[in-house]
């Protein structure tokens, strides 16, 4: 069944509406499956919310909070976990780049290797060719 | 006394005892609000610690434009929404088997027979309907339903007009009813 009525079932569940509207909704949901279901689901949701409202932090939480903040204060600006981690990563990066540059430079050193194809030899080779 | 604004000057002067009093006064409120957003006790406790750390570090910038309680509420809401967004991403990348044990400290059917009708699955389904609301509607509805705050106070926390808050709560209720209509 399609029903376009838009009642506030949250207010209805708390009986936070006028007696006239209350009677109207009650008459309506008696004959409307969809609205009866919504009203029931809203009631269940209210119960779930009320249940969650009963949750309290444990008795020592405030002590833990104060201890954590005091602890943090004593380390303030010196070695907080995130900056320390960032510094280590940056140092590792610089050391890595340094090693890389040093290794590249040392491998680029020119070593003189004598070869038969050196320019001086070519002249002789040409001389042999000319002889033939 | 509900508002502990009188502690403000002492805290600004690094009086540790005053800060301890502030934590003791508001840690329950902050934890409950964080839990109503995050539905997980460990996350809520972690966020509570985070909120008080922020309060401690930024108390010098507090300019008495609102009450201390409203300011703490505002920090909690902002941090809860940020954490919720982060957790959504984490859940997206987490393997299916490694779901953390939510609702660990919830009053269960065993401890409170009044709620025997609501099993864990149903509760999760119902409260997930709230999580699926748009962010501003979810915030207004959570402050209204879980914290029992008035429209004026919610307006101060969210930085909106009272009529805007009324409209957000009305739309949240309508959207929730539409979502709940699908449940059987």
Q: Which residues of B touch A47 (CB under 8 A)?
A: 115, 117-118
Contact A38 B181 (CB under 8 A): yes
Contact B145 A6 (CB under 8 A): no
Contact B106 A55 (CB under 8 A): yes
> Would you place residue B75 in the very low, low, confident or very high pLDDT band (cuts 50, 70, 90)?
very high
Q: Among all chains, which residue has been given the structure tokens 């204060």? A: A73
Number of domains in chain A: 1
Segment A81-107 shows an average pLDDT of: 85
Domain identity same for B99 and B119: no
Closest Cα in chain A to B125? A45
Does residue A35 belong to any structural domain of this protein? yes
**B115-168 pLDDT tens trace:** 445 677 777 888 889 999 999 999 999 999 999 999 999 999 999 999 999 999
Closest Cα in chain A to B104? A55
Q: Using a CB–CB cutoff of 8 Å, tell me whether A67 touches chain B.
A: no
Number of domains in chain B: 2
Does residue A132 belong to any structural domain of this protein? no
Q: Using a CB–CB cutoff of 8 Å, tell me whether A56 touches chain B.
A: yes
Domain span at A28: 9-53
Would you state the pLDDT for residue A26?
A: 93
> Would you place residue B110 in the very low, low, confident or very high pLDDT band (cuts 50, 70, 90)?
very low
Per the CB < 8 A criterion, the answer to whether B40 and B102 are in contact is yes
Q: Which residues of B touch A66 (CB under 8 A)?
A: 16, 19-20, 23
Q: Using a CB–CB cutoff of 8 Å, tell me whether A49 touches chain B.
A: yes
Q: Which residues of B touch A72 (CB under 8 A)?
A: 53
Question: Phi-psi region for residue B103, left (φ > 0), alpha (ψ -120 to 50) or beta?
Answer: left
Distance to chain A for B70, nearest Cα, Å: 19
What is the maximum alpha-carbon separation in chain B?
57
Domain identity same for B94 and B115: no
B77 exposure class (CB count in 10 Å sphere: 0-12, 13-18, 19+): buried
Distance to chain A for B66, nearest Cα, Å: 24
Closest Cα in chain A to B55? A69
Q: Where a domain ends, among B87, B104, B121?
A: B104
Give the mean pLDDT of chain B. 83
Query: In 10 A of CB A46, how many CB atoms?
Result: 16
CATH code for position B174: 1.10.10.10
């Amino acid at each position: 069944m399609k029903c376009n009525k838009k009642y506030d079932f949250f207010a209805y569940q708390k009986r936070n509406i006028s007696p006239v509207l209350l009677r109207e909704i009650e008459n309506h949901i008696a004959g409307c499956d969809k609205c009866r279901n919504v009203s029931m689901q809203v009631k269940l949701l209210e119960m779930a919310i009320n249940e969650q409202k009963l949750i309290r932090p444990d008795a020592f939480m405030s002590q833990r909070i104060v201890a954590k903040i005091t602890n943090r204060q004593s380390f303030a600006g010196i070695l907080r976990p995130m900056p320390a981690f960032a510094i280590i990563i940056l140092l590792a990066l610089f050391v890595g780049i340094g090693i890389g540059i040093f290794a590249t430079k040392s491998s680029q050193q020119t070593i003189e290797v004598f070869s038969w194809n050196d320019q001086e030899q070519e002249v002789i080779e040409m001389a042999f060719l000319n002889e033939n | 006394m509900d508002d502990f604004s009188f502690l403000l000057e002492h805290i600004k002067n690094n009086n540790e005892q005053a800060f301890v009093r502030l934590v003791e006064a508001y840690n329950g409120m902050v934890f409950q609000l964080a839990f109503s957003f995050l539905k997980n006790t460990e996350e809520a406790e972690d966020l509570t610690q985070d909120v008080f750390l922020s309060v401690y570090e930024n108390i010098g910038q507090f300019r008495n434009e609102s009450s201390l309680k409203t300011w703490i509420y505002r920090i909690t809401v902002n941090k809860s929404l940020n954490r919720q967004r982060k957790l959504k991403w984490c859940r997206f990348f987490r393997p299916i088997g490694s779901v953390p044990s939510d609702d660990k400290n919830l009053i269960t059917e065993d401890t409170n027979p009044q709620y025997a009708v609501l099993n864990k699955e149903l509760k999760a389904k119902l409260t997930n309907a709230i999580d699926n609301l748009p962010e501003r509607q979810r915030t207004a509805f959570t402050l209204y339903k879980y914290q029992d705050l008035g429209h004026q106070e919610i307006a101060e926390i969210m930085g909106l007009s009272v009529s805007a808050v009324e409209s957000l709560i009305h739309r949240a209720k309508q959207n929730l009813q539409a979502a709940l209509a699908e449940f059987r």
